[in-house]
Amino acid sequence: MAVITDFALQGAQMLLVLLMAPLLTGLVRKMKARLLSRQGPPLLQPYRDLLRLMRKDAVLADNASWLFRVIPYLVFAATWVAASLVPTFRSGLLFSWTADLIAIIAVLGSARFFLALAGLDAGTSFGGIGSSREVMISSLAEPAMLMIVFAIALIAGSTQLSTMAAFMNSAEVGLRVSLGLALIALTIVAVAENARIPVDNPATHLELTMVHEAMVLEYSGRHLALIELAASLKLLLYISLIACLFAPWGISPAIIAPLPILIGVAAYIGKLTVLGALLALFETSIAKMRVFRVPEFLGAALMLALLATLLRFVSGSF
């Protein structure tokens, strides 16, 4: 019986992230539009877009290899798995022993590696530009992300997300400078990883300025749908990660009771809304930076994370 419930809860988590991801994207778009005095598309528009793309034929470049066709599924699967591992409404799920932060980064890293290959595969100049820019950004974002993991793991004593979340929710954690630095660093990395302004613009039509969009420019139909869904999932993942590590309130403990789970789901939706709104506000108030400013931006994240780790070494109370 317990096994069935565990499976059901883990399944619910997987379905929840999959179903919520387009809604979060729609919410951020809607809020950005409202901030710009526009009506904006309906909240459910991303679902409609995905359905529309699913129904369309996929157009493939003549010289695209089998890799090009496989990669959308790979990227989607990897991102979905990663997103399902982050505790959202309940900790201690069936697979939570695999929910190691370093493992999640590795899964996302492989997804990106394949996407960059797909960008190069069709041999167009935009795909090449996009892949080279994406790899430049990720080569800076990933070390920063690992450094953030170390900083938090040193405090929480684990890289396992359920344990980290439980620790963060306890009175033990207190106010720590190093956690503040890690939060800022994680936010910067999240912005860069999700191709948001000021690093990239998800809504641009200017092919020469694109990073992520240029890489996937050759995709269409169901392939594009999977990649768009993966992008939405990734945004949800990072927001969930920030919520789980720095605002773990309301996450249901690993007991089987309906009320804590309901509270957990409600708290999770509330956190997504608030963080999504903050993202929309931030994106509206800033212009995109030059491509060569991105290393400085991500360098700041790396330095902050490094500082957080060092502070922790200097004194246990930081």
Partner 1 sequence: MTLSHETVNVDGWLEAGDRLAGGSLTLLGLWADPPNVKMAMLDEASGDINIITYACRHGQYPAVGVKHPPAIRLERAIRDLHKLDAIGASDTRPWLKHTAPPYEFLAAEGEALHQIAVGPVHAGIIEPGHFRFTANGEFLVRLEARLGYVHRGIEASMVGVTLDRAAMFAARGSGDSTVAYGLAFALAAETALGIAAPRRAIYLRALMAELERLANHFGDIGAICNDASFSLMHAQCGILRELTLRAAEACFSHRLMMDLIVPGGVARDINEDGVAQLRALLAEVRRVFPHLTELYDNTASLQDRTVTTGSVKPEYARQFGAGGFVGRASGRDFDARRRPGYAPYDALKFDVPVLTAGDVNARVWIRIREVEQSLALVEQILAALPQGDLRIDLPSRGGDGLALAEAFRGDVLVWLRLADDGSVARCHLRDASWFQWPLLETAVEGNIVADFPLCNKSFNCSYAGHDL
Which residues sit at the interface with partner 1, rule CB under 8 A?
A: 32, 35-38, 125-126, 129, 132, 197-198, 201, 203-209, 217, 284-293
Residue nearer to partner 1 on the CB measure, 90 or 196:
196
Helix (H) or strand (E) holding 108: helix 101-121
- Give the number of C-alpha atoms closer than 13 A to the C-alpha of residue 267, restricted to the C-beta side: 18
Residue nearer to partner 1 on the CB measure, 36 or 274:
36
Residue nearer to partner 1 on the CB measure, 139 or 170:
139
How far, in Å, CA of 281 to CA of 155, rounded? 31
The backbone torsions φ and ψ at residue 157, rounded to the nearest 5 degrees and listed phi first, read 75, 20
Nearest to 306 by CA among 158, 185, 167: 185
Q: Pseudo-torsion of CA 50, 20, 237, 11, nearest 10°?
A: -100
Q: How far is the CB of 288 from partner 1 (least distance, A)?
A: 4
How far, in Å, CA of 235 to CA of 200, rounded? 14
Q: How far is the CB of 124 from partner 1 (least distance, A)?
A: 9
| Strand-pair partners of 160 | 100
How far, in Å, CA of 169 to CA of 92, rounded? 14
Residue nearer to partner 1 on the CB measure, 32 or 90:
32
Q: How far is the CB of 209 from partner 1 (least distance, A)?
A: 5
Residue nearer to partner 1 on the CB measure, 10 or 124:
124
Query: Quick check: 165 and 147 in contact, CB under 8 A?
Result: no
Q: How far is the CB of 203 from partner 1 (least distance, A)?
A: 8
Q: How far is the CB of 282 from partner 1 (least distance, A)?
A: 11
Residue nearer to partner 1 on the CB measure, 3 or 203:
203
Q: How far is the CB of 249 from partner 1 (least distance, A)?
A: 33
